[in-house]
Chains A and B, each alone.
Chain A
Amino acid sequence: MRVLIKLFATFREGRFKSEEWELAPGATVAEVLSRLKIKPEEVSIQLVNGKDAALGQVLQDGDVMALFPPVGGG
Chain B
Amino acid sequence: MKFTNEQMERYSRNIILNEVGVKGQIKLLESKVLIVGTGGLGAPAALYLAAAGVGTIGLVDADAVDLSNLQRQIIHSTTKVGKPKVASGREAINDLNPDVNVVTYQEWVSSANITDIIKDEDYDFIIDGTDNFPAKFLINDACVLLHKPFSHAGIIKFFGQTMTYVPGQGPCYRCVFLNPPPPNTVPTCKEAGVLGVMGGIIGTVQATEAVKYLLGIGELLTGRLLVFDALEMEFRTVTLASRKNCVVCGENPTLKDLIDYEQRACEL
Name A residues whose Cβ lies closer than 8 Å to a Cβ of B.
8-10, 12, 17, 39, 41-42, 44-45, 47, 50-52, 66, 68-74
Contact yes or no, A71 B154, CB < 8 A: yes
**Nearest CB in chain B: distance from A62 CB, A:** 19
In the assembled complex, the Cα of A1 lies from the Cα of B203 at a distance in Å of 42
B residues adjacent to A (C-beta < 8 A): 37, 39-42, 128-133, 136, 153-157, 159-161, 176-177, 181-182, 185-186, 188-189, 192, 194, 199, 225, 227, 229, 232, 238-239, 241, 268
Chain B residues in 8 Å Cβ range of A50: 238-239
Determine if A74 and B39 form an interchain contact, defined as CB atoms under 8 angstroms apart: yes
Chain B at the A interface: SS class: mixed
Q: Which 5 A-B pairs have the closest CB atoms?
A: A74-B131, A73-B189, A9-B159, A71-B154, A73-B156
Check B133 against A70 for contact (C-beta < 8 Å).
Answer: yes
Partner of B132, one of A9, A17, A42, A72: A72
* 26 interchain pairs, CB-CB under 8 A: A8-B159, A9-B156, A9-B157, A10-B157, A41-B182, A52-B241, A66-B238, A68-B238, A70-B177, A71-B160, A72-B136, A72-B154, A72-B156, A72-B181, A72-B188, A73-B40, A73-B154, A73-B155, A73-B188, A73-B192, A74-B37, A74-B40, A74-B128, A74-B129, A74-B132, A74-B189
Q: Tell me whether A68 and B40 are in contact (CB under 8 A).
A: no
- Whether A41 pairs with B181 at a CB distance below 8 angstroms is yes
From B156, which residue of chain A is reached at the shortest CB distance? A73
Q: Which residue of B lies closest to A73 (CB)?
A: B189
Q: How far apart sit A58 and B44, CA to CA, in the bound complex (Å)? A: 44
Cα A55 to Cα B199 in complex, Å, equals 33
